[in-house]
A and B are shown apart, each in its own frame.
Chain A
């Protein structure tokens, strides 16, 4: 049986200040992250001891400097939030890494909570800027001038699953899933062929098939081997090939379907190899073809469209879910059903999904605007529509405008998103992390995904390890927490 697909996303936001000649992205990020004060204890370190971004999943260690900031810089750049998320400065972008969740529906709530958290801090930080200056944040992945920033997904995998198998099956899957995961982009960049409009924000930036890098020569499959869990048992697949999505429905499918395909690999349910002859070329061919008719050369011969390849994965998923011993969650069943319907609709006419899939929602909005105003794809206003679709301000962001007007499908309720801002998921170790911050915030010394350490009085720092992503759930630790009014009692009770 596949291991539970515990998952999360890391979103880097685009940041700019208008009417400020001295705009510096890094100091603006520090200002932004520190402006967030809602139930966030102030001085907690991010525990870099546990990190090793230079380990490669193919089994070796890459040479390089590991980043460890000094204590003051660490505190200034890192916030761990009561919902279990990490909100921090990553190079020149603010980044929100959502807490670990067990299913795509919760993922939507916690990723959307991230948008709200960044917007709350944007408002606070903006008030500290000189009059006239305006701090703006965008949940997209490109400035359309050749600079890209990421949306990374993480999925818990069984260490016994060979990385070679993951690469074989996920390569054609990732190249083709953009037909329902893309956020849409006007034009092309990074020396890709010119086009009016494409499915993905990111496809133009992928230059190689498999590698450890994320910032240069980006690979379709990233090999970072940093499980943030028991490394004997698990790996964490770090997926860098996706777009930041605004649409809840798109986020739901992106993470939901990907988790299912990964579980199928672990269960040996991918019975047919769909390897592409040239994935790096194919990812751009798919992205640059909104008609979805482009045919991709398969390694075993023949040419298939992205829809055909996805339909083959879907057919295998139906068989996987129908196994007599299959234990399929309600969310996974729902994802499989909607995935199939989306593929049928894409085959008939992609515009049927103009309420569901980001690249189609955006395309229809832009084309309607162009038609009415007599504009073409090169018009600055069209480029502005593309950018402003991702604007985090509720009154200015065009995605939010469409949402208010009921023009897009929702997956979760507003109340679920509000709750996810302040409270952790209840069925993973994020519950323990979030609750410790809420209950014992002033005595929490440092945090990482798989540990939390306490600095109680003059005692030596005590680190609690959380190597099992599903341990530390509410069912597992609420009694313990309730029986421990102070951090010191918690540490005592943990020892007992």
Chain B
């Protein structure tokens, strides 16, 4: 389920288009994303290493989410009641 986060197939195609067109100002490259995947001989090794890094990165992210997630989730979501709007 986590492969989509840095999907090598994605190859940041969408992002390249974003940079090429439109904006009045230069786009900033987000940290942590957008590494090029290598097509060369040691590509497989790199990808395997990357897989390991990815797992670690994802684990760290889940830990961080876990840390900031509201405690008493059950009560919190139960008490979140809004009046209809618009």
- Chain A hits for B65, CB < 8 A: 365, 369, 385, 398, 401
A218 to B13, CA, bound (A): 38
Given known contacts A352-B10, A380-B77, A333 and B22 CB-to-CB distance under 8 angstroms: yes
- Chain B hits for A330, CB < 8 A: 21-22
B48 within 8 A of A: no
Complex contact A147–B84 (CB within 8 A): yes
Complex contact A341–B14 (CB within 8 A): yes
A128 within 8 A of B: no
- Chain B hits for A406, CB < 8 A: 30-33
Interface size class of B (residues with CB under 8 A): 35 or more
A424 within 8 A of B: no
Given known contacts A351-B3, A365-B65, A398-B65, A413 and B14 CB-to-CB distance under 8 angstroms: no
How many A-B residue pairs have C-beta atoms within 8 angstroms? Tell me. 179
Q: Which one of A351, A383, A407, A409 contacts B77 once the chains associate, using CB atoms below 8 Å?
A: A383
Complex contact A409–B69 (CB within 8 A): no
A143 to B80, CA, bound (A): 6
**Count of A interface residues, CB-CB < 8 Å:** 75
CB distance from B17 to the nearest CB of A (A): 5
CB distance from B7 to the nearest CB of A (A): 5
Complex contact B21–A387 (CB within 8 A): no
- Chain A hits for B66, CB < 8 A: 369, 373
Complex contact A409–B68 (CB within 8 A): no
B61 within 8 A of A: yes
Complex contact A148–B84 (CB within 8 A): yes
Task: Give residues 322-337 of A contacting B (CB, 8 Å).
Answer: 330-331, 333-335, 337
Given known contacts A16-B79, A388-B69, A409-B30, A214 and B21 CB-to-CB distance under 8 angstroms: no
Complex contact B4–A364 (CB within 8 A): yes
Complex contact A14–B64 (CB within 8 A): no
A107 within 8 A of B: no
Given known contacts A384-B76, A407-B33, A410-B28, A354 and B86 CB-to-CB distance under 8 angstroms: no
Complex contact A92–B85 (CB within 8 A): yes
- Chain A hits for B86, CB < 8 A: 12, 90-91, 148-150, 152, 214-215, 218, 240
Contact with B along A376-399 (1 / 0, CB 8 A): 000011011101100000011010
A342 to B68, CA, bound (A): 31
A230 to B10, CA, bound (A): 46
The residue of chain B having its C-beta at the shortest distance from the C-beta of A91 within the complex is B85
A326 to B31, CA, bound (A): 38
Task: Give residues 399-440 of A contacting B (CB, 8 Å).
Answer: 401-402, 405-414, 416
A370 to B16, CA, bound (A): 32
Complex contact B33–A355 (CB within 8 A): yes
- Chain A hits for B73, CB < 8 A: 380-381, 383-384
A384 to B65, CA, bound (A): 11
A493 within 8 A of B: no
Contact with B along A357-379 (1 / 0, CB 8 A): 00010001101110111000000
B36 within 8 A of A: no
B42 within 8 A of A: no
The residue of chain B having its C-beta at the shortest distance from the C-beta of A92 within the complex is B83
Task: Give residues 52-100 of A contacting B (CB, 8 Å).
Answer: 90-93
- Chain A hits for B68, CB < 8 A: 388, 395-396, 398, 401
Complex contact A338–B14 (CB within 8 A): yes
- Chain A hits for B84, CB < 8 A: 147-149, 215-216
A356 within 8 A of B: yes
CB distance from A392 to the nearest CB of B (A): 13
- Chain A hits for B26, CB < 8 A: 413
A159 within 8 A of B: no
A384 to B27, CA, bound (A): 32
Task: Give residues 20-76 of B contacting A (CB, 8 Å).
Answer: 21-28, 30-33, 58-59, 61-62, 64-66, 68-70, 73-74, 76
Complex contact A409–B82 (CB within 8 A): no
CB distance from A67 to the nearest CB of B (A): 13
CB distance from B50 to the nearest CB of A (A): 15
CB distance from A383 to the nearest CB of B (A): 4
A345 to B11, CA, bound (A): 12
Contact with A along B1-19 (1 / 0, CB 8 A): 1111101011001110110
Q: Which one of B10, B17, B23, B30 contacts A338 once the chains associate, using CB atoms below 8 Å?
A: B17
- State the 9 A-B residue pairs at the shortest beta-carbon distance, nearest first: A149-B85, A406-B32, A351-B4, A334-B22, A354-B4, A380-B74, A406-B31, A384-B73, A334-B21
B residues engaging A (CB < 8 A)?
1-5, 7, 9-10, 13-15, 17-18, 21-28, 30-33, 58-59, 61-62, 64-66, 68-70, 73-74, 76-77, 79-86
Pull 27 A–B residue pairs with CB atoms less than 8 Å apart, ordered by A. Answer: A16-B79, A16-B81, A90-B85, A91-B85, A92-B85, A93-B85, A144-B80, A149-B84, A214-B86, A333-B22, A334-B18, A338-B14, A338-B17, A345-B14, A352-B9, A352-B10, A364-B2, A373-B66, A380-B73, A381-B73, A388-B69, A396-B70, A405-B64, A406-B30, A409-B18, A409-B33, A413-B26
7 extra A-B contacts, CB within 8 A, seeds A354-B7, A380-B76: A12-B86, A92-B82, A372-B62, A406-B30, A406-B32, A409-B14, A409-B18
